[in-house]
Structure 1
Amino acid sequence: MGRPRKALLDRARIGATALQLVDEKGDFTVPEVARRLGVQTASVYHHVDGRAGVVELVRERVVESLDPATLDLHPWDAALEAWARSYRAAFAAHPRAISLLMTSPVRVPRVIAQYERVAGLLTDAGFARDEVMPVITGLDNLVLGSALDMSAPEVMWVVEDESAAPRLAAAQKVTGPARADRAFDLTLAGFLAHCRGLAGSDPGPENP
């Protein structure tokens, strides 16, 4: 018999299968990935550097829809806002992957490249060097928290006796299913407003 036209196993299939398991269960093991692909666990290890390597393949799959072109927008705050919205949409599609990916160091070159562009965007806008990582980390926290919130139940505060919490019950009814989106808009606007105050500030002698 001739060789199959398509390889039985490759990094793309491993990443897609691991992400499928994460979407279903919230986590994966390498033996589970192998079983689902119909191969031996050792075969998976021929393509990746252990479990950490599979985690990075999952990250690659999640960020496929993250649009780096948003970082070409001007001014810097418009670019940052558009990138944040694209970032949120990418992770909202796979909320169970958030805890897995956010507790593992980022090594994917294409993701590193986007964060390098964000760091450059902030630096060019006049942010002090010691403010760049807090801004990036704060944006990560905001976006990923909101992406996780999008998978939460529509009604988060179950008020069985409205007389006990009448204002909370009324506010929840008025806001309805738009709660997560409106909360994200509000928080992102406040975050960007604060960042505008940091941009262009005097870096001081410690941050030339």
Structure 2
Amino acid sequence: MGRPRTPLLDRARITTTALQLVAEKGEFSVPQIARRLGAQTASVYHHVDGRDGIVELMRERICEAIDTATLTLEPWDAALAAWARSYRAAFAAHPRVIPLLMTSPVRAPKVLEQYERAVGLLLAVGFAAEDVMPALTGLENLVLGSALDLAAPATMWELPDENSTPHLARALAAVGAGRADAAFEVALEGLIAHCRSVLTATGDQPSR
């Protein structure tokens, strides 16, 4: 019998299968991936560095959808906001993977390179080194939380009747179907405004 034209296992297939399992079940295991691909568990380990390695492959796959060209826009705050929107869109497509990624250190070189570019952007415009990671971590928390919000049920507040919570009913009716997007833009605007104030304060400091 000749060899199959397409290899049974490779890192791309393992990554795709892991993403499918997480989308379906909220979790994955190496034996589950092997079964779905019709392979032995030991064979999967020949291609990846265990479960943690698969998590990083999923992170890398998702981050490939983030438009890094946004980080070259000017001015810097427009670049940061555009990157955040692209980042959110990429992760909104895989919301059930987010809890796995947020509890695992970032190791994938391609992902670290993207952080490097974002850090370089902020340092280049004058942010103090100690202010950079709080800003980026805050941005990431906002992005990932909003990506999860996009995956939430369309109706998050189920009112028994409008009379018992009239103010809430009025506010929900006014915001309509765009609640998640509107909330993200409000929070993003607030974070960017904070970053501007931090940068201004840094510029006001006497030189050493």
The interval holding the TM-score normalised by the smaller chain is over 0.9
What is the CA distance between 1:128 and its match in structure 2?
Answer: 1.2
Distance 2:202 2:82 in 1: 27
1:125-180 Cα distance to aligned partner (Å, 9 max, x none): 11111111100100000000000000111111111132221000111011111000
Structure 2 length-normalised TM: 0.95
Residue number in structure 2 paired with 1:36:
36
- RMSD value over aligned CA atoms? 1.6
Summarize the alignment of residues 59-208 of structure 1 with structure 2, pairs less than 5 Å apart.
59-202=59-202
Q: 1:19·1:61 contact (CA, 8 Å) conserved in 2?
A: no
Distance 2:12 2:202 in 1: 46
Distance 1:34 1:155 in 2: 38
What is the CA distance between 1:83 and its match in structure 2?
Answer: 0.5
Distance 2:202 2:191 in 1: 20
Q: Kindly, what percent of the aligned residue pairs are identical?
A: 65
Could you list the structure 1 runs, at least 4 aligned residues long, displaced by more than 4 angstroms after superposition.
Answer: none
Structure 1 length-normalised TM: 0.95
Q: 1:76·1:122 contact (CA, 8 Å) conserved in 2?
A: yes
For residue 117 of structure 1, what is the amino acid of its counterpart?
R
What is the CA distance between 1:200 and its match in structure 2?
Answer: 4.5
Pair 103,25 (structure 1): closer, same or farther in 2 beyond 3 Å: same
Structure 2: gaps spanning 5 or more residues = none
1:175-196 Cα distance to aligned partner (Å, 9 max, x none): 1110000000111011101101
Distance 2:125 2:100 in 1: 32
Number of aligned residue pairs: give it: 207
Distance 1:116 1:201 in 2: 24
